[in-house]
Amino acid sequence: MVGIRTRLFLAFVVFVGLGFYFLVDWLLDDLRPRYLEAMEESMVDSATILSAIAEKQMKDDAIDVDGLRAAFTSARKKRFSAKIYEVTKHRIAIRVYVTDTNGIVVFDSEDGKAEGRDYSRWNDVYLTLRGEYGARSTRTDPDDPRTSFLYVASPIRKGDEITGVLTVGKAAGSVNVFIQSARRKMVIGGVLAGLVVIVLGFVTSLWITRPIKKLIRHAHHIRDGERASLPNLGSSEMRMLGQAFEEMRDALEGKQFVEHYVQTLTHEMKSPLSGIRGAAELLKEDMPGPERERFLENICAETGRMQEVIDRLLQLASLEGRKELRDVERFDLGNLVTEAVENTKPAADARGVSLRDETKTPVFIEGERFLVRQAVVNLLQNATDFCSRDDTVSVHLRAEDGSAVLTVRDSGRGIPEYALPKVFEKFYSLPRPDTGKKSSGLGLAFVREVALLHRGETSIRNLPDGGVIASLSLPAAPDTQ
């Protein structure tokens, strides 16, 4: 599938390429006429000056061409070197002829080859004798446009009367060298300009699509359940789109969040409420004191269970609704683990479980100390709850690839394979080995949410030789050794 960046870039290249092609083609087609116009303009000046000189040399109302003949004979013999851009000129390359009032050639600068001929039908002579602007273009080879000659005429006057015509001719092919040079430069310039525009188009496509790519990655992070903040999308419409996306996400998540928690809370409350209701109904009847005491204890136990579920659920709900850390501080995770072990040890000792703190090196992290501590306590409590008497729980901590990795190992009987993918889900719990009762199923879910909020990871697996290892990996502080 072609991405939007590629499509934008290809469309830009096609449109700009076509635009440059037609522009350069139009300029090249228009180049030769512009050169010929410039040449004709200078020939008009030349013809006018020469006709004025011829007027000054008239004798007895007749055109005296001897002066012109001598001047051109001398000019053709003269050698010079004129560097005109890329062309070096060594001799004159114009033709001049003069006709009388009848259009008969009386002078031809090309060794008089046309003298005596009737040019009265040629446009340059015909129109000029009638007081109009006379010019023509004639090919020496009708089938070859490169043999075209351009002729421009100017009247020779005596007073107000036209007594003859002086025509200046020049090969149109003399501008071909200049045209080819200009064509080459225009093509090279067009190609270079096109390349520059293509590069700018590529950069522009990157600039346009970069916020879109960021927004796509942000959506993928959300899809994968990560705690992702809205990336910097600039101050354009893309930022407005991102904000609208976040608002839609919050609205959808909020709706799903409420629906999910209402359903799960209702489900979890059914069992203790049923127990409390049943015990209360039985207490209405006369019964021995010991039985009454047992039912009252059952009511208290179920009420406590409900309270624990509600408290933990509120705590987890508050955590899941957050997108970023708040009270961030830098602390030694090793010291925090030691504190958590000391607080959990009495409960472990009461169960006959040996709890060992084997953290040796300090590993610093940056985060919310309270949340991390609660996550560590939950891991320790979960491990000790699933151990039997004389089992062991050990805690290890190490720095690895920029992360602080905390592992909790126990020598218990392990987790059934079918349950491994579900242990971090809310309200999923297995029966304790000593009592057969289940917990709220929110402890490991809380650990997972703390890890996600800190951009970390959690995992749990069975050990080959028995027991379970649970790990909590959090980003280490930048200066952790």
The tens digit of pLDDT for each residue in 116-141 reads 999 999 999 999 999 999 999 888 77
- Give pLDDT, residue 234: 64
Q: Do the Cβ atoms of 409 and 393 come closer than 8 Å?
A: yes
Q: Which secondary-structure segment (H or E) carries 231?
A: none
- Give pLDDT, residue 211: 72
- Give pLDDT, residue 268: 56
CA 477 to chain centre: 32
CATH architecture entry for 329-475:
2-Layer Sandwich (3.30)
DSSP structural state of residue 440: -
Supply the pTM of this predicted model: 0.44
Locate CATH 3.30.565.10 in the chain.
Answer: 329-475
**CATH 1.10.10 applies to domain 251-320:** no
Q: How many CB atoms lie under 10 A from the CB of residue 469? A: 16
Residue 227: exposure state from Cβ atoms within 10 A (0-12, 13-18, ≥19): middle
Locate CATH 1.10.287 in the chain.
Answer: 251-320
The helices-and-strands tally (H runs, E runs) of the chain is 9, 14
Alpha-carbon gap, residue 393 to 234, rounded angstroms: 51
DSSP structural state of residue 417: G
| 78 Cβ contact list (under 8 Å, min separation 6) | 91
- Give pLDDT, residue 134: 93
Locate CATH 3.30.450.20 in the chain.
Answer: 4-180
- For every residue of 287-330, DSSP letters joined together read --HHHHHHHHHHHHHHHHHHHHHHHHHHHHHHHHT--S-SS-EE
| 230 Cβ contact list (under 8 Å, min separation 6) | 218, 242, 243, 245, 246
- Give pLDDT, residue 250: 59
- Give pLDDT, residue 44: 92
CATH T-level topology, domain 4-180: Beta-Lactamase (3.30.450)
Q: Do the Cβ atoms of 455 and 476 come closer than 8 Å?
A: no
Alpha-carbon gap, residue 189 to 180, rounded angstroms: 14
The tens digit of pLDDT for each residue in 146-166 reads 778 889 999 999 888 899 999
For the chain, residues with pLDDT lower than 50 are 1, 254-255, 257
Alpha-carbon gap, residue 323 to 227, rounded angstroms: 6
Three-state SS for 337-364 is: HHHHHHHHHHHHHHCCCEEEECCCCCCE
Q: Do the Cβ atoms of 157 and 55 come closer than 8 Å?
A: yes
